[in-house]
């Protein structure tokens, strides 16, 4: 029989009058595929239509709303770091305890991220975003009102729960709001918002902490959240399923134990000297057992909390590995630079933030360029490879640093590396979802973003360990050279206009060894990031090329639909 076409916000639902066992005509299927519609039938999940083909004014509202929410979340990742020293004194915590302010947020993030697809399926995109924004703002206020370490760790955990879904669901809404030929540009716009975190975070955090109080690094989320909530209420909903899957609470518990223990191990490993600590050993055992049983549960139940079978898709699995390594490079660099600039170059926090900003600026420019190239049908794999070259070159330049470099030598390699970051992010996202079915892309996003977060955590842990260990090695090797019987050290003191003597040898010698040993650890950490870029090259070559000139961009159109 002739199918009926029901219009709904520019999307067509093809309803056939055949029986369940019947099949639609091939011409109907072709028309459905060409118009981006959904065939009703037992094999197709019943979902509310996604936000698609909106008017320019509506797209602008959606873009601003999503950007405000995402900027609020990513800004919070970097702005808190510079305030930790001030928070430590106010909350009566030592240097080890205060890191739980960061750890609790990351643990909550990695637990909730894989649930993104399930949450959207049950409640819809707009509802998840609204609740996430409200919860994030309320928990931010509670963080600012905290008067003890226990309080702020608890509220930061809550903040991580509500903030986890903002970026992946925001991607969903943005992709559904733009026509197929502009979706690469839409992701580039969103990427620019994401990169505002590394640009504004350290600088704004240093300014607020110095002029007002560390509590304002949390209060600054209030205006972003209010505007995002008001605009988000006006956009149409989408992604909600009329027949959502049941929640596998057993699988969720196993995943929470495994990922939470893994994140805790990575966050605390360096400061607790890794496996010499009983706490780290216990967390490692819990992480291994929790993840093993979680994988078994996911593969054996018909309704897993996270469908790991999606990793059979080559592009998603390789793309997730690639974004994990990319996260290592990005977050690893964000750890190294502030330590080097403030600890070794003696920059003030505000100046260090300004010097780090060019990396984010370069990434923003590159993202806009990558979005235009994707819109013109350029193979995303080629853009990623060019980005890797830029990132590797910019990082290699930093391995040539010494204690006498100028500010320009910090800015230009950071800008070049930022271009690499920008050229990798959006095309890699496109490639990862090219071969996934539309109904699988929301859940695939949770896995993809989870790997990015875990890659960042692993990168921070590895970089911190390398810097600590290599600094100690440098100290042991160079410490013996600082003595009155070393002619080279004696000549150095004379050239500096200092009178050789026991006090001079002791004080100045310790300063010299400390700086040189730390610089050695810093350069070795940069070299590790450089190797990370090189590992990406053969990995990216295994990704399947999108079928058609713009298929990669078109395919992610229905992400979360």
- The sheet with strand 4-8 has its strands ordered as 4-8, 11-15, 38-39
Q: Give a three-class secondary structure readout of 4-53.
A: EEEEECCEEEEECCCCCCCCCCHHHHHHHHHHCCEECCCCCCCECCCCCC
What is d(CA 319, CA 554) in angstroms, rounded to the nearest whole number? 17
For the full predicted model, state whether its pTM sits above 0.75.
no
Closest-CA residue to 260 (of 100, 25, 444)? 100
- Nearest Cα to 239, choosing from 97, 443, 35? 443
**H or E, element range at 300:** helix 278-300
467 closest CA partner among 517, 502, 404: 517
Domain 310-561 fold: Growth Hormone; Chain: A; (1.20.1250)
What would the pLDDT profile of 135-183 be if each residue is shown by its tens digit?
Answer: 999 999 999 998 888 888 899 999 989 988 888 888 778 777 777 667 6
| Residue with the larger pLDDT of the pair 185 and 7 | 185
C-alpha triplet 37, 39, 42: angle, nearest 5°: 150
pLDDT value of position 539: 86
Q: What pLDDT does residue 551 have?
A: 41
Report the CATH architecture of 54-241: Up-down Bundle (1.20)
End-to-end CA distance of the chain: 27
Residues 219, 141: contact at Cβ < 8 Å? yes
In the chain, the percentage of residues whose pLDDT exceeds 70 is 75
Query: Are the beta carbons of 244 and 439 closer than 8 angstroms?
Result: no
36: confidence class by pLDDT, cuts 50, 70, 90: very low
The candidate with the shortest Cα–Cα distance to 157, out of 175, 140, 174, is 140
pLDDT averaged over the chain? 76
Backbone angles phi, psi at 169, to 5 degrees: -70, -35
DSSP letter for each residue of 234-289:
TSPP---BSSPPPP-HHHHHHHHHHHHHHHHHHHHTTTTTGGGSHHHHHHHHHHHH
pLDDT tier at 39, thresholds 50, 70, 90: very low
What is the rounded distance in angstroms from the CA atom of residue 319 to the CA atom of residue 27? 34
Whether 447 and 110 have beta carbons less than 8 Å apart is answered as no
């Amino acid at each position: 029989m002739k199918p009926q076409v029901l219009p709904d916000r520019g999307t067509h639902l093809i309803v056939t009058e055949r029986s369940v066992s019947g099949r639609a005509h091939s011409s109907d299927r072709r028309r459905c595929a060409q118009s981006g519609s959904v065939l009703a039938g037992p094999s197709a999940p019943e979902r509310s239509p996604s936000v698609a083909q909106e008017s320019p004014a509506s797209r602008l509202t959606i873009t601003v709303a999503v950007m405000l929410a995402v900027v609020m979340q990513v800004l919070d990742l970097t702005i808190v770091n510079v305030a930790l020293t001030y928070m430590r004194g106010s909350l009566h915590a030592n240097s080890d305890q205060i890191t739980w302010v960061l750890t609790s947020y990351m643990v909550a993030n990695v637990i909730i991220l894989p649930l993104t697809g399930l949450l959207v399926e049950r409640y819809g995109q707009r509802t998840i975003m609204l609740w996430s924004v409200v919860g994030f703002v309320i928990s931010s206020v509670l963080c600012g009102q905290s008067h003890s370490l226990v309080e702020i760790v608890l509220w930061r955990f809550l903040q991580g729960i509500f903030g986890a879904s903002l970026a992946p669901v925001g991607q969903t809404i943005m992709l559904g709001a733009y026509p197929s030929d502009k979706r690469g540009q839409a992701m580039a716009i969103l990427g620019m918002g994401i990169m505002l975190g590394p640009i504004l975070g350290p600088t704004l955090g240093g300014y607020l902490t110095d002029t007002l109080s560390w509590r304002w690094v949390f209060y600054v989320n209030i205006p972003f959240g209010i505007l995002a909530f008001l605009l988000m209420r006006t956009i149409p909903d989408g992604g909600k399923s009329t027949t959502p899957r049941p929640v596998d609470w057993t699988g969720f518990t196993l995943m929470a134990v495994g990922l939470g223990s893994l994140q805790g191990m990575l966050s605390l490993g360096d400061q607790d000297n890794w496996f010499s600590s009983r706490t780290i050993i216990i967390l490692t055992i819990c992480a291994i057992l929790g993840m093993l049983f979680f994988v078994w549960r996911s593969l054996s139940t018909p309704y897993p909390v996270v469908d790991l079978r999606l990793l059979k898709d080559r592009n998603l699995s390789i793309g997730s590995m690639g974004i994990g390594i990319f996260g290592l490079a990005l977050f690893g660099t964000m750890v190294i630079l502030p330590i080097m600039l403030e600890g070794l170059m003696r920059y003030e926090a505000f100046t260090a933030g300004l010097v780090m900003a060019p990396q984010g600026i370069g990434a923003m420019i590159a993202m806009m360029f990558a979005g235009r190239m994707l819109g013109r049908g350029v193979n995303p794999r080629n853009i990623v490879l060019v980005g890797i070259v830029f990132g590797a070159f910019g990082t290699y330049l930093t391995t040539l640093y010494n204690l006498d470099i100028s500010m320009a030598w910090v800015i230009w390699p950071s800008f070049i590396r930022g271009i690499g970051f920008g050229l990798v992010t959006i095309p890699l996202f496109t490639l990862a979802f090219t071969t996934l079915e539309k109904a699988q892309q929301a859940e695939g996003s949770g896995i993809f973003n989870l790997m990015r977060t875990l890659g960042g955590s692993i990168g921070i842990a590895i970089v911190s360990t390398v810097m600590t260990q290599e600094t100690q090695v440098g100290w042991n090797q160079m410490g013996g050279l600082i003595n009155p019987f070393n002619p080279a050290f004696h000549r150095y003191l004379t050239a500096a206009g200092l009178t050789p003597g026991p006090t001079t040898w002791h004080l100045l010698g310790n300063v010299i060894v400390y700086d040189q040993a730390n610089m050695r650890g810093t350069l070795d950490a940069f070299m590790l990031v450089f190797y990370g870029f090189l590992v990406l090259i053969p990995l990216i070559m295994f990704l399947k090329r999108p079928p058609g000139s713009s298929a990669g961009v078109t395919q992610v159109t229905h992400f979360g639909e």
